[in-house]
């Protein structure tokens, strides 16, 4: 069981697989007023940076589930590196339908809401693992500027303009789903650069080391076109943030 190999190549050197930077996860962890021993579930935990740093900085305990064996192994190494392997565990698996055995204080899905078919489905899934009064975290893109056409939306790697909401629409959608927005931390264009631009050096070095790989021509095309696509489209049009929700 794995995600498409192209992501394991282009994001192999990422600690954070979204436009958040370490300071944003630190701000979010402080904003949530986490107490030592708080239980956190993370669906689509990637390389585990959120759980590992919050375990180190706030004493949380947690479980992450991710479909990429590579990212899961990186998360396990990071936990050892930060001295928190006794507090957090990372499971390789499909997070679709995953419900925790023991209810958690914080249930998160940061940049992987397709796991449960979108934001509404993800909130419903996370709610099944949450103790009463617990907090749900959703990381999601939104339009900073509405694209003038579906073609521009496609250049932002959406299918159509309707794939994402504006920030006011996204915030009001959480209310329509019966949740209070109790905190939020937003990424910024520099964070998008950390996520997108970090892929370019990884791709360049991978190409040098793997010139005959079956994905070499795809990676070559991406390396040639991605910097211009990123600065023209994603960096200008797409926002991204993590929203903390509590059921009304
Ligand atoms: N939350 C992480 C990673 C976000 S990227 C971070 O902040 O860095 C999305 C992640 O979802 C990737 O790590 C990918 O491997 C994982 N993923 C995709 N489909 C999944 C599924 N069905 N079950 C579990 N993880 C999945």
| pLDDT (tens digit per residue) in 71-127 | 999 999 999 999 999 999 999 999 999 999 999 999 999 999 999 999 999 999 999
CA dist 25 and 8 (Å) reads: 22
Q: Is residue 80 part of a domain?
A: yes
| Confidence at residue 6, expressed as pLDDT on a 0 to 100 scale | 96
Mean pLDDT, range 124-147, rounded to an integer: 98
What distance in angstroms lies between residue 143's CA and the mean position of ligand 1's atoms?
21
What distance in angstroms lies between residue 112's CA and the mean position of ligand 1's atoms?
5
What distance in angstroms lies between residue 9's CA and the mean position of ligand 1's atoms?
14
What distance in angstroms lies between residue 104's CA and the mean position of ligand 1's atoms?
19
Q: Is residue 14 part of a domain?
A: yes
> For atom 13 of ligand 1, which residue has the closest CA?
46
| Confidence at residue 71, expressed as pLDDT on a 0 to 100 scale | 98
Mean pLDDT, range 30-55, rounded to an integer: 98
Ligand 1 pocket by Cβ (under 6 Å): 3, 16-18, 44-46, 49-50, 65-68, 71, 94-96, 110-112, 115
What distance in angstroms lies between residue 46's CA and the mean position of ligand 1's atoms?
5
What distance in angstroms lies between residue 19's CA and the mean position of ligand 1's atoms?
14
Calculate the CA dihedral of residues 65, 140, 20, 160 and round it to 10 degrees: 120
| Confidence at residue 248, expressed as pLDDT on a 0 to 100 scale | 96
What distance in angstroms lies between residue 37's CA and the mean position of ligand 1's atoms?
24
pLDDT in tens, 181-233: 999 999 999 999 999 999 999 999 999 999 999 999 999 999 999 999 999 99
Q: Is residue 76 part of a domain?
A: yes
CATH number at residue 28: 3.40.50.150
Number of domains in the chain: 1
Q: The dihedral of CA 139, 176, 143, 161: what is its sign?
A: positive
> For atom 5 of ligand 1, which residue has the closest CA?
17
The ligand 1 atom at the shortest distance from the C-alpha of residue 42 is 1
Give the closest residue to 45 by CA, choosing from 28, 68, 24: 68
Q: Is residue 109 part of a domain?
A: yes
Q: Is residue 159 part of a domain?
A: no
State the residue for tokens 């998360």. 75
- Cβ contacts of 30 within 8 Å, gap of 6 or more: none
User: What distance lies between CA 79 and its chain's CA centroid?
Assistant: 18
Q: Is residue 149 part of a domain?
A: no
Q: Is residue 201 part of a domain?
A: no
pLDDT band with cut points at 50, 70 and 90 for residue 157: very high
Q: Roughly how many angstroms between the first and final C-alpha of the chain, as a whole number?
A: 37
Residue 67: give the domain boundaries.
5-143+166-187+240-247
Mean pLDDT, range 137-155, rounded to an integer: 98
Q: Is residue 51 part of a domain?
A: yes
> For atom 22 of ligand 1, which residue has the closest CA?
94
| Confidence at residue 241, expressed as pLDDT on a 0 to 100 scale | 98
The ligand 1 atom at the shortest distance from the C-alpha of residue 114 is 19
| Confidence at residue 174, expressed as pLDDT on a 0 to 100 scale | 98
| Confidence at residue 18, expressed as pLDDT on a 0 to 100 scale | 98
| Confidence at residue 182, expressed as pLDDT on a 0 to 100 scale | 98
Average pLDDT, the chain: 98
Mean pLDDT, range 15-21, rounded to an integer: 98
Helix H, strand E, coil C: the string for the chain is CCCCHHHHHHCCCCCCCCCCCHHHHHHHHHHCCCCCCCEEEEECCCCCHHHHHHHHHHCCEEEEEECCHHHHHHHHHHHHHCCCCCCEEEEECCCCCCCCCCCEEEEEEECCHHHHCCHHHHHHHHHCCEEEEEEEEEEEEEECCCCCCHHHHHHCCCCCHHHCCEHHHHHHHHHHCCEEEEEEEECCHHHHHHHHHHHHHHHHHHHHHCCCCCCHHHHHHHHHHHHHHHHHHHHHHEEEEEEEEEEC
pLDDT band with cut points at 50, 70 and 90 for residue 130: very high
| Confidence at residue 73, expressed as pLDDT on a 0 to 100 scale | 98
| Confidence at residue 144, expressed as pLDDT on a 0 to 100 scale | 97
């Amino acid at each position: 069981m794995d995600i498409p190999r192209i992501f394991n190549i282009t994001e192999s050197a990422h600690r954070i697989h979204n436009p958040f930077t370490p300071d944003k996860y630190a701000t979010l962890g402080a904003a949530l007023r986490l107490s030592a021993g708080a239980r956190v579930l993370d669906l689509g935990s990637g390389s585990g940076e959120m759980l590992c740093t919050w375990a180190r900085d706030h004493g949380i305990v947690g479980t992450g589930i991710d479909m990429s064996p590579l990212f899961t192994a990186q998360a396990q190494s990071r936990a050892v590196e930060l001295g928190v392997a006794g507090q957090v565990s990372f499971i390789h698996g499909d997070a679709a339908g995953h419900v925790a055995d023991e209810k958690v204080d914080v249930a998160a899905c940061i940049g992987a809401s397709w796991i449960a078919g979108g934001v509404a489905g993800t909130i419903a899934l996370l709610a099944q693992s949450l103790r009463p009064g617990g907090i749900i975290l959703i990381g999601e893109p939104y339009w900073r500027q509405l694209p003038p056409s579906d073609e521009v939306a496609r250049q932002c790697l959406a299918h159509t303009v309707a794939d994402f909401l504006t920030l006011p629409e996204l915030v009001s959608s959480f209310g329509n789903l019966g949740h209070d927005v109790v905190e939020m931390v937003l990424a910024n264009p520099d964070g998008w650069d950390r996520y997108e631009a970090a892929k370019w050096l990884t791709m360049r070095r991978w190409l040098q080391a793997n010139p005959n790989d079956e994905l070499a021509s795809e990676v070559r095309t991406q390396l040639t076109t991605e910097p211009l696509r990123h600065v023209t489209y994603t960096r200008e049009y797409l926002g991204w943030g993590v929203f903390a929700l509590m059921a009304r």
